[in-house]
Structure 1
Amino acid sequence: MTVIFLYTVLFDAYSISAFCNAGFDLIGIRTPFSSLTSYSVQPIVNLVIMVLIVVGGIGFLTWEDIKNHKWHLKKYRMQSKVIFMVTGLLIFLPALYFFYFEFSNVPLMERVWVSLFQSVTPRTAGFNTADLTLLSEVGQMLIIILMLIGGSPGSTAGGMKTTTLAVLVSSALSVFRKKEHTHFFGRRIPDDTIKNAATVFLMYIVLFLVGGMVISSTEDIPLMTALFETASAIGTVGLSLGITPDLGLVSHIILICLMFLGRVGGLTLIFATLSEKKLNGSKYPQEKITVG
């Protein structure tokens, strides 16, 4: 009876952690960094955890659309449509890669579950059902990218957000197509939104790279391993290749700062630290500069 109670409490905690995209690993107490690897072939565990991660990561405004409009997708906010599209792609495409290139030696059903789970969890739940240290560098880099992107605005997830990626990609496509404006689903995106997206992206990339290079140099560890830790920190994910407890004080401070900055959010940090300037009618003379 006691064992049943303990497992009930344990999986209640996992459910909360999954929905809140927290990534606290209680099962890892038995075997360090094991996470949910013992349940890689359990459909119910995999499905429930993945659904909770996605539900917590798509944002409460999106759930308001689902509540109000049900299956009438045309009535949804443009933001909700973008979130659905990007979330679906970021689950499906990485899962295909993991299925064909990373877990090809795993039995079919387990291969399906571990591929799906490893594509969902970096966004930003922090559980794993496979040993991440056994992934190729390409596989680890893909997880790093997913951790940096994270979930959606107004959700429990961290990262630079799916909408930030969507705006930047759409902006690039509008340049390639020589379109004057960036748009989604017949709606134009304001220029200020594109600037904010570029600022958030640059901030995350700089902090992630600089932090990883400093940790790699300080601890004398491979750069990819250090970048995995910094991406997990700034994305507030919780995944690790197992080196975190052995890092020194400087590296721990860097990871703590990255976790704080990632949780506060890019735009919140920028707007809080920079004083608002009063607008005036004067502008500097305009001159073109060649880029690219």
Structure 2
Amino acid sequence: MFIIRNIKLTYTQIIAFGTLAIMLLGGVLLSLPISSRSGDSTPLINAFFTAASATSVTGLVIYDTYSHWSSFGQVIILFLIQIGGLGFMTVVTLFSMFLRRRIGLRERRLLMESANTLKIGGIVLLIKKILIGTFIFESIGAILLFIRFYPEMGLKSGLFNAIFHSVSAFCNAGFDIMGKYGEFTSLTRYSKDIVVNITVMTLIIIGSIGFVVWDDIGKNRLNFKKYLLHTKIVLTTTAILIFVSAILFYIFEVNRTMVNMTISEKILASFFQSITPRTAGFNTINMTRLSESSSLLTIILMFIGGSPGSTAGGIKTTTFVVLIIGAISSAKHKQDLSIFKRRLENNALKRASSITFIYMFSTLLSICIICGIQDFTMKEVLFEVYSAAGTVGLSMGITPYLNSISKLIIIVLMYGGKVGSLSLALVLAEKKEVIPISRPIEKIIIG
């Protein structure tokens, strides 16, 4: 950590550049001949794309992970997913703990920024809880998946598959190594398997609600009234999104992609499809066969994403809720934003609006460029772009056919989705001294 103390950058810049450095290193390692199953070097742009997708826990892939990458390459991808899920500073802190180095105030502020926590006090203890909790959840998930994989894959392959998919699900990465049963099939082979579905869905939800929520639940157990306002918003919004989306997916797909399933299988698939678009990236049904309504609903869920301080992307559930509360308050001509008998801070709506605008501007610009340089349908590009920006990983199958410019655009979107659209804007913005000048007020017509 002594290196960080001598770096004259803002906390946001250190996190952003640290994440970028890991992506670049991962790209170099994946480009080596040892990383590919054929023993040939992988083109650097494709290797960097895969590394960026793994580190940003997105899951968009140019190559089928099992078919193209060797065991070494798959392990590198697994490490990148784990680092991306935990966060750059959490991993650095882990090494500092092993080396028994003292974690100073500057590092603690970095950890607070990285974990998206509300206060600096107890941040090191929280990081320890994150590391222990991650290990426990991923281990339980791996054991449950191993029980299912072992009979058909054997000990070695079954164990590695269980660990890989448990880590990928918990980190909301969406990477899979099921290519032996068909390239780019994800978990469609297990669409009717209750153990695999429930395990993966549970890991995705736990990983997407955020570390602050974990800590709050750990302290207050099931006493909802004692939870932080942040926790109440996250849990309530997550539950509503899951159940409402599952009902809608069932209605939209009951006589289409799920027509040959039993009622219980349709319900299982509907819930899986309602959970995975919020940054997980796995799929148990063929995404290219979704109805127009389901495709739009999936894009909306990818846009919202998970919750702050988690392994998920998107604008985040809290941002979504603040925008809704802001709209309702504006319609009622109220100044304050209130929810669960609490008033939100004054700049909450401004920050939420900024995040959403940057997110929308970057995605719409990307869609215009990709549509202009490649012959894809608008639906395919919309799906791909929002999947990248939300660090989801779902695709209509166009990822392997992106040209170099489109790949670079998707890489930037995945990177921005990982570090946060507003954070990336702050990193790229020139730092200037703010002069406190109060300008004259003049009204304009809005709406």
TM range (shorter): over 0.9
In the alignment, which residue of structure 2 is the partner of 1:16? 167
Structure 2: distance between partners of 1:271 and 1:246: 32
In the alignment, which residue of structure 2 is the partner of 1:40? 191
In the alignment, which residue of structure 2 is the partner of 1:271? 426
Structure 2: distance between partners of 1:72 and 1:203: 37
In the alignment, which residue of structure 2 is the partner of 1:90? 241
Structure 2: distance between partners of 1:290 and 1:28: 56
Shift of 1:277: 4.9
Contact 2:252–2:293 (8 Å) recurs in 1: no
In the alignment, which residue of structure 2 is the partner of 1:249? 404
Structure 2: distance between partners of 1:92 and 1:46: 16
Q: 2:415 aligns with which of 260, 266, 279?
A: 260
Q: 1:17-75 deviations in whole A, cap 9, x for unaligned?
A: 01111111211353122100011111111001000000000001101111000111111
Residues 71 and 221 from structure 1, CA distance in 2 versus in 1: closer, same or farther, beyond 3 angstroms?
A: same
In the alignment, which residue of structure 1 is the partner of 2:381? 226
Contact 1:103–1:115 (8 Å) recurs in 2: no
Paired residue type of 2:272: F
Shift of 1:191: 2.7
SS at structure 1 position matched to 2:231? helix
Contact 1:19–1:53 (8 Å) recurs in 2: yes
Residues 7 and 174 from structure 1, CA distance in 2 versus in 1: closer, same or farther, beyond 3 angstroms?
A: same
Q: 1:78-128 deviations in whole A, cap 9, x for unaligned?
A: 000000111111111110011112133232111011100010001111100
Residues 28 and 199 from structure 1, CA distance in 2 versus in 1: closer, same or farther, beyond 3 angstroms?
A: farther
**Alignment pair present for 1:50 and 2:201:** yes
**Alignment pair present for 1:166 and 2:317:** no
Q: 1:191 aligns with which of 343, 346, 370?
A: 346
Q: 1:202-245 deviations in whole A, cap 9, x for unaligned?
A: 11111112212221221111101101000111111111111110
SS at structure 1 position matched to 2:347? helix
| Pairing of 1:116-135 with structure 2 (within 5 A) | 116-135=271-290
Q: 1:161-198 deviations in whole A, cap 9, x for unaligned?
A: 11010100010011112222111111111231211110
**Alignment pair present for 1:144 and 2:299:** yes
**Alignment pair present for 1:112 and 2:274:** no
Structure 1: distance between partners of 2:436 and 2:176: 55
Q: Which runs of 5+ in 1 are unaligned?
A: none
The 10-residue stretch of structure 1 (95-104 or 41-50) with the greater mean CA deviation from structure 2: 95-104
Shift of 1:271: 2.6
**Alignment pair present for 1:290 and 2:434:** no
**Alignment pair present for 1:70 and 2:221:** yes
User: Please, what TM-score do these two structures have when normalized by structure 1?
Assistant: 0.95
Contact 1:95–1:119 (8 Å) recurs in 2: yes
Q: 2:369 aligns with which of 188, 203, 214?
A: 214
In the alignment, which residue of structure 2 is the partner of 1:238? 393
Structure 1: distance between partners of 2:217 and 2:329: 30
CA RMSD of aligned residues (A): 1.5
Structure 1: distance between partners of 2:240 and 2:404: 38
Higher alpha-carbon Rg: 2
Identity of aligned pairs, percent? 43
Shift of 1:281: 4.6
Contact 1:229–1:240 (8 Å) recurs in 2: yes
Q: Which runs of 5+ in 2 are unaligned?
A: 1-149
SS at structure 2 position matched to 1:191? coil
Structure 2: distance between partners of 1:290 and 1:9: 60
Structure 1: distance between partners of 2:394 and 2:434: 44
Paired residue type of 1:89: I
Structure 2: distance between partners of 1:195 and 1:277: 20
Paired residue type of 1:72: N
Paired residue type of 1:255: I
Structure 2: distance between partners of 1:90 and 1:51: 15
Structure 2: distance between partners of 1:229 and 1:3: 35
